Amino acid sequence: MSYDGVAPGPGARDSILGTGSDRIVPVSKRAVTADYAAIGMGGRLMGWALRESTGASFAALEFYDGASAGGTLLAPINIGTGGFLTFWYGDIGIDVESGIFVHMVAGSMDVTLYYRFDTGEY
C-alpha cells in the first residue's frame, strides 16, 4: 500500500484499520460454495470485497444477521463471471446483532468481510 508513491510509515495500518474497540478486522474465506457462519457475534459490518472465484460462471450470495438464512437479510449480491465487487458502508457501518451468516445462492466466491467486533466500548 502506498500514498502518493510513498510507503506509509510505522503505525499507518493502525490509523487505517483502527485500534482497540475501533479496530476493523478482515474476515476472509476463499472459494466459498456452501453456506457458512462467517462471524458469530455482534458488531458492525463495515464493508466487503467479493470475487467470483472460478472465472467460468456468475455467482450470488446473501449476507444475513444471524446464525442462518432465517435472520435479517443484510445484502443480496450477484457477480458476473470473473467479476469483483467491493462496498464500504462508511465510518458507522451496519449494526449486526448476532453475527453474519453467508448463504451461497449460486457459484463460487472469495469472500472478505470488514468487521468491527462489539466489545461493549462504543
Query: pLDDT digit string (tens) for 40-99?
Result: 999 999 999 999 999 999 999 999 999 999 999 999 999 999 999 999 999 899 999 999
Phi/psi at 99 (nearest 5 deg)?
A: 125, 180
SS3 of the chain: helix, strand, coil, percent, to 5: 5, 50, 40
State the average pLDDT over residues 98-105.
97
How confident is the model at residue 120, as a pLDDT?
63
CATH superfamily of 25-117: Nucleoplasmin core domain (2.60.120.340)
C-alpha 56/C-alpha 45 separation (Å) is 29
Domain ranges for the chain: 25-117
Sorting pLDDT into bands at 50, 70 and 90, what band is 7? very low
> What's the predicted TM-score (pTM) here?
0.81
Per the CB < 8 A criterion, the answer to whether 27 and 113 are in contact is yes
